[in-house]
Amino acid sequence: MSVEVTRLPSGLSVVTDRMPHLESASLGVWIGSGSRDEKPDEHGISHLLEHMAFKGTKRRSARQIAESIEAVGGDLNAATSVESTAYYARVLKADIALALDVLADILSEPTFDPEELRREQNVIVQEIGATEDAPDDLVFDRLQETAFPDQPVGRSILGTPETVRSFDAARIRAYLSRNYRAPDMLVAAAGAVEHDKIVAEVEKRFGSFVGPAAPPPEKATFAGGTRVESRDLEQVHIAMALHGLPVRDEALYSLQVFTNVLGGGMSSRLFQEVRETRGLCYAIHAFHMPYSDTGLFGLYAGTDETDAPELMRVVIDQIGNATETLNETEVNRAKAQMKAGLLMALESSEARVGQIARQMLAYGRPIPLEEIVAKVDAVTVESARAAGRALIERGRPAIAALGPGSGLESTAAIAESLVRRAA
């Protein structure tokens, strides 16, 4: 890897990863601000700003923004998460300057036209409605809310129809001014790029982003609890979470190995026992989402309402058993999967630019592949088991369930037994 980093006097960072065999580049602007940086009366404004950035600037209309990139065969998009927002493009190497100009334009000079704002608010309300109609998506919003109640980190990224419609141009501009500051921003590029040329373009186009770093978000507190919603659905959708680890925690790789062994693929314990042996569901998986100051270890399954209690009993047994019987073969398989995923990502400029951007936001530096592989290799059977035991010992789980039937409460109560078992 040929990763280079330059920090400009303003505090804005520029990081590139040159892939000389490519003729294209993936590049973008990452802001260390997302939905958890919203004030109580700003729920959904981060995501709305992401949409509105594309709806016109002093130099370009919304149509011209789209056409300027698509006219050269490129792609332009954005995404909002809990702790960051990204605006990115993929273009041929000859069009890198154009892409940077468009990205700088939409972030430094958006007009927030009232008519465009009204239309986009309606679009997002439709997006919220679509999520409400997708229980396998909605259950994760409910899980986040249950794990982190009454906290910005626990709220849905989209907001509510009421909050989204309440924002005007002045509110959006105030949020942008408060959170889009150079020390909390970076420009990242991977592919057919030359670092010095990217730095020169960024210096020329991103000079308006000044000021001190944005205020830190509210500290997250994992609470746990249960949220059950009766809905007329074909399946019960169940998600459970335990208090995980922050991104800088030394035990993070051990926990990721534990997560993969438990529910990371077709060879995982949950898939084999719950689906293959017992036939209790079609889909089941485990995951871990680390944040800057906390983390969320989760499991999801969709099943028939009559099978839900048995499924949850099996899940609880598998979690507990894994903390004591997880073995070297499973650990080595999980480590191989993790390392293969890292190496396969190196073949894609989109994956590589996303990886280095996330590393810069989380650690303040790009992490060499060798360093990551060494940390994966250092995971042992005992460290993975210990990471699993620590999950259970940190406190009660959060459970969200959507679906038909009157047995959801009893299914959730079975999940609560995990903590009693640890005690």
Task: List pLDDT tens digits, range 244-296.
Answer: 999 999 999 999 999 999 999 899 999 999 999 999 999 999 999 999 999 99
pLDDT mean over 403-423: 72
DSSP letter for 67, please.
H
Give yes or no for a contact between 17 and 170, defined as CB atoms under 8 angstroms apart: no
For the chain, what percent of residues have pLDDT higher than 70? 98
Catalytic residue list: 50
Question: What is the rounded (10 degree) CA torsion for 273, 277, 281, 286?
Answer: 20
Q: Which among 136, 75, 77 is positioned nearest to 283, based on CA atoms?
A: 136
**pLDDT of amino acid 417:** 75
- The structure tokens 């919203």 sit at 38
Res 414: pLDDT: 80
DSSP code of residue 182: G
pLDDT tens-digit profile of 7-31?
Answer: 999 999 999 999 999 999 999 999 9
**Once rounded to an integer, what is the mean pLDDT over residues 394-407?**
88
The DSSP code sequence of 221-241 is: ----EEEEEE---SSEEEEEE
Mean pLDDT, residues 396-401: 94
Lowest mean pLDDT among 41-55, 80-94, 206-220, 273-287: 206-220
Q: Which domains does the chain have, with CATH numbers?
A: 3-205 (3.30.830.10), 225-422 (3.30.830.10)
Lowest mean pLDDT among 55-59, 214-218, 280-284, 350-354: 214-218
Q: How far apart are CA 341 and CA 328, in angstroms?
A: 20
Q: Does residue 407 register a pLDDT over 80? A: no
Contact by Cβ (8 Å): 218, 36: yes
pTM of the model: 0.94
Name the phi and psi angles at 228, rounded to 5: -120, 130
- Calculate mean pLDDT across residues 182-187: 97
Pairing of strands 85-92, 3-7: unpaired
**Reported confidence tier of residue 412, pLDDT bands at 50, 70, 90:** confident
Strand partners, 13: 7, 186
**pLDDT-based confidence at residue 1 (cuts at 50, 70, 90):** low
Radius of gyration of the chain (CA): 23
- CA triplet 140, 142, 423: central angle to 5 degrees? 90
pLDDT score of 387: 98
Q: Which residues pair with 296 in a beta bridge?
A: 243, 289
pLDDT at 108 over 60: yes
